[in-house]
């Protein structure tokens, strides 16, 4: 059983999600706005968060950014708007999926289960600390240090780096990265990968060249 936080200012939507989530064996908590959600996340941890974007007091993007400071629970965004900008901005914040309203509760639960499975799988990967000169990566603790200094990455930047390192010296296409890191039915394009790679390189500082661009193909981590 997973703990799900449902954040939406519409009580009817929260009720529908609760009904289907509890039917699937999950424990559901509710918040009517982003500020309430942030407060709840400071007091307890959740396995996944379903968050509406357009809310009073504190919108979903702002709430997600604040929540990511205290916990790394995966986030599925809900929105009545399907603009590409909203989707790309959400993924850059580290969300795991994006669903446009109106949505099918059954599809939402399928996506919830898929995201939870990926989250569990990431926690089981390579427990040891991997070292590449002054770059150290701890898969279990999800920490990265550069010449002894800890660097802060977004959840998706962590996922990207860990995936590249696990497949080091292997050429990975953008489609492969999108499929394996973001999962099925991804809303976005190659620019999402390029943006995350750019930010990741900036955070790696002197070790940025470990991530090699393969023109016309994608990227690889060079060990």
64: DSSP letter: H
Domain 129-221 grouped into CATH 1.10.10.10: yes
Q: Please tell me the number of Cα atoms within 13 Å of 124 on its side-chain side.
A: 6
Q: Give the per-residue pLDDT at 121.
A: 57
Nearest-angstrom CA–CA distance, 223 and 206 = 14
* SS3 (DSSP) at 6: strand
Which of 62, 61, 67 is closest to 45 using CA atoms?
Answer: 67
Indicate the length of the chain as a whole number: 223
Domain ranges of the chain: 3-123, 129-221
Fold match between domain 3-123 and domain 129-221 = no
Q: Give the per-residue pLDDT at 220.
A: 93
Q: Give the per-residue pLDDT at 82.
A: 67
Q: Give the per-residue pLDDT at 169.
A: 86
- Residue 164 and residue 174 in contact, taking contact as beta carbons nearer than 8 Å: no
Nearest-angstrom CA–CA distance, 94 and 69 = 11
Which of 68, 64, 47, 60 is closest to 10 using CA atoms?
Answer: 60
- Residue 113 and residue 24 in contact, taking contact as beta carbons nearer than 8 Å: yes
In SS3 terms, 87-121 reads as HHHHHHHCCCEEEECCCCHHHHHHHHHHHHHHHHH
Q: Give the per-residue pLDDT at 211.
A: 96
Q: Give the per-residue pLDDT at 138.
A: 84
Sign of the Cα torsion 194, 68, 50, 119 reads positive
Instruction: Look up tokens 């109106």; give the residue.
Output: 102
Architecture in CATH for domain 3-123:
3-Layer(aba) Sandwich (3.40)
**CB atoms < 10 A from the CB of 151, how many?**
16
Q: Give the per-residue pLDDT at 43.
A: 84
Q: Give the per-residue pLDDT at 49.
A: 96
pTM for the complete prediction? 0.57
Q: Over the chain (223 residues), what is each successive 10-residue block's mean pLDDT? A: 91 95 92 93 89 90 87 88 78 87 92 81 55 86 89 88 87 85 62 89 95 92 88
């Amino acid at each position: 059983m997973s703990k799900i936080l449902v954040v939406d200012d519409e009580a009817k939507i929260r009720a529908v999600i609760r009904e289907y989530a509890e039917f699937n064996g999950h424990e559901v908590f509710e918040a009517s706005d982003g500020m309430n959600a942030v407060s709840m996340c400071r007091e307890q941890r959740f396995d996944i968060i379903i968050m509406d974007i357009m809310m009073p007091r504190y919108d979903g993007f702002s709430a997600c950014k604040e929540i990511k400071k205290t916990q790394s629970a995966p986030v599925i965004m809900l929105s009545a708007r399907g603009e590409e900008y909203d989707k790309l901005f959400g993924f850059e914040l580290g969300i795991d999926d994006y669903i446009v309203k109106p949505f099918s509760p059954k599809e939402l639960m399928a996506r919830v289960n898929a995201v939870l499975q990926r989250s569990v799988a990431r926690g089981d990967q390579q427990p040891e600390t991997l070292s590449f000169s002054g770059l150290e990566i701890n898969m279990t603790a999800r920490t990265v240090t550069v010449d002894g200094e800890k660097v802060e990455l977004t959840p998706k930047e962590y996922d990207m780096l860990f995936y590249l390192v696990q497949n080091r010296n292997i050429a990975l296409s953008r489609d492969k990265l999108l499929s394996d890191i973001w999962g099925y039915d991804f809303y976005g394009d190659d620019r999402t990968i390029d943006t995350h790679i750019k930010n990741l390189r900036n955070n790696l500082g002197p070790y940025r060249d470990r991530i090699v661009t393969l023109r016309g193909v994608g990227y690889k981590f060079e060990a």
